[in-house]
Amino acid sequence: MRVRFAPSPTGILHVGNARTALFNWLYARHHGGKMVLRIEDTDLARSKKEFTEDILDGLRWLGLDWDEGPGMGGPFAPYFQSERFGIYAEEAEALLANRKAYRCYCTEEELEERKAFSVSHGLPPRYSGKCRRLPPGEEEILLAQGRKPSVRFIVPAEDVVFEDLLRGEVSFDTSLIGDFVILKSDGSPSYNFAAAVDDASMEISHIVRGEDHLPNTPRQILLYRAMGKKVPAFAHLPMILGADHAKLSKRHGSTAITRYREMGYLPEALVNYLALLGWAPPGGKEIVSLGEMVEKFQLEKLSHGGAVFDLSKLAWLNRQYLLRLSPERFVLACMPFLPAESREKPGLNEAIALVQESVSTLAEVSREIRFFLEETLCYPPNGVALFEEDPVAIEVLREYVLLLERGCTEVRALVKEKGHPKKQVFPPIRFALTASLHGPELTKVIDLLGLVRVKERCRRLLEILDRPASANPD
């Protein structure tokens, strides 16, 4: 078995690409096959080196290695289509010699005019075949006019029928296709021609890709047959959908793999979630390691319908993976998401450990331990307003400051000595120390901050609450 992932570097690696790569990788690894990475950069104007690097880096981050391709080499190199133009030219010449293709001298203007005519008359917008049988001497005249020909493939009058591994039998009426370009007038290959030539020459046995490529399949099958090559097996994956069940796009939020990395998702959690978008592990498990996926994966068992991308489900899954990290690994994973100047701060590891159970992404850690990172807190006005009209809260803070003056930080002493209910004691003190009404266990926050900082913060909030209402921030 030989599968391939063949992205175009005209954009960054996104969720849909990554899932396609994952399913190819799992299929190959499950069957002991090979994974080929091919960069389809024939669009020289739009292909960018930085996009190629983003794709390669994203795959590596996800843990999806490849057996042949950029950085690995292989028996069918080169693996960049921009370096294979000579191969496409040779194949096109062979098809011309075997009368399975012909040169087309039609200009873009002529083609657009005929297309508009067909559409206006309710006809398929296919090529008319005008240049298939030019009168003797006509080619020479057109060349003398400076016209540069493209090469068109002759589509035979036969239906294309194939067995899709997911969809079953699929049939296409080739009369709706028309002779299509395989080599453009500038010598560059069309997508379908380059893909078919490379899949054949690289001995790809199974093509697993998105269902948006389904219309390309009949053209490629015709090309395999015309070149005398074995037709690979096909599986067309259903699309990933947004919450509105439309195809997932930027309007549904970020789809870039780099963005999820920046937001603090673990690669193993993201891979786990992508696998669940169309595949149900045996036994109904939701948390599945890459090794388990390889062992259990069956392409034929994938869902036939589109899978909805649910960011809240991804966040939940990521949280489960964060909880499974050892405290040491969790701290290490958090470091890139913290301000550089705080990474050597005494007590940082203990502060990070306090919030491991409450965050869903690594990027949330910095916010959750802001009370520790910042020396002077900015109290939100809505919190201040909650306590400034509460005489019990103010009394609690004053009494706690008196305790602190005696060197006692035990909050429960206010409950024992003064008889205040815990629900009245803990909120104002937590707000004074963290500028938030929610967070880690209060006694651990106090231990982490220490007597001096706890006293300073309680006094500062008291000063704010004691100001005239007009002086407090809105």
Which tokens hold the place of 207? 């093509």
Amino acid residing at 407:
G
Amino acid residing at 15:
V
Which tokens hold the place of 305? 């319908």
Residue 376, number of CB atoms within 10 A of its CB: 7
Segments of the chain assigned to CATH 3.40.50.620: 84-237
- State yes or no: pLDDT of 470 exceeds 50: no
Compute the distance between CA of residue 365 and CA of residue 377 in angstroms, rounded to an integer. 17
Q: Regarding beta strands 233-237 and 206-210, do their DSSP bridges make them parallel or antiparallel, or are they unpaired?
A: parallel
Residue 308 pLDDT class (50, 70, 90 cuts): very high
Amino acid residing at 93:
E
Segments of the chain assigned to CATH 1.10.10.350: 375-471
Q: CATH classification of 375-471, choosing from 1.20.1440.230, 3.40.50.970, 1.10.10.350, 3.40.50.1390?
A: 1.10.10.350
pLDDT computed for residue 182 by the predictor: 98
- State yes or no: pLDDT of 472 exceeds 70: no
Q: Give residue-wise pLDDT tens across range 128-173.
A: 889 998 998 999 999 999 999 999 999 999 899 999 999 999 999 9
Look-up: residue for tokens 């991308």? Answer: 309
Can you tell me the mean pLDDT for 361-371?
97
Region of residue 383 (phi > 0: left; psi between -120 and 50: alpha; otherwise: beta): alpha
Residue 474 pLDDT class (50, 70, 90 cuts): very low
Q: Regarding beta strands 307-308 and 240-241, do their DSSP bridges make them parallel or antiparallel, or are they unpaired?
A: parallel
Q: Which of 115-129, 284-298, 313-327 has the lowest mean pLDDT?
A: 115-129
pLDDT computed for residue 421 by the predictor: 81
- Residues serving a catalytic function are 250
Compute the distance between CA of residue 384 and CA of residue 379 in angstroms, rounded to an integer. 7
Q: Give residue-wise pLDDT tens across range 32-42.
A: 999 999 999 99
- State yes or no: pLDDT of 5 exceeds 60: yes
Tell which residue, 373, 379, 370, has the closest CA to residue 461. 379
Which tokens hold the place of 443? 């006694």
Q: Does domain 84-237 have CATH number 3.40.50.620?
A: yes
- State yes or no: pLDDT of 250 exceeds 80: no
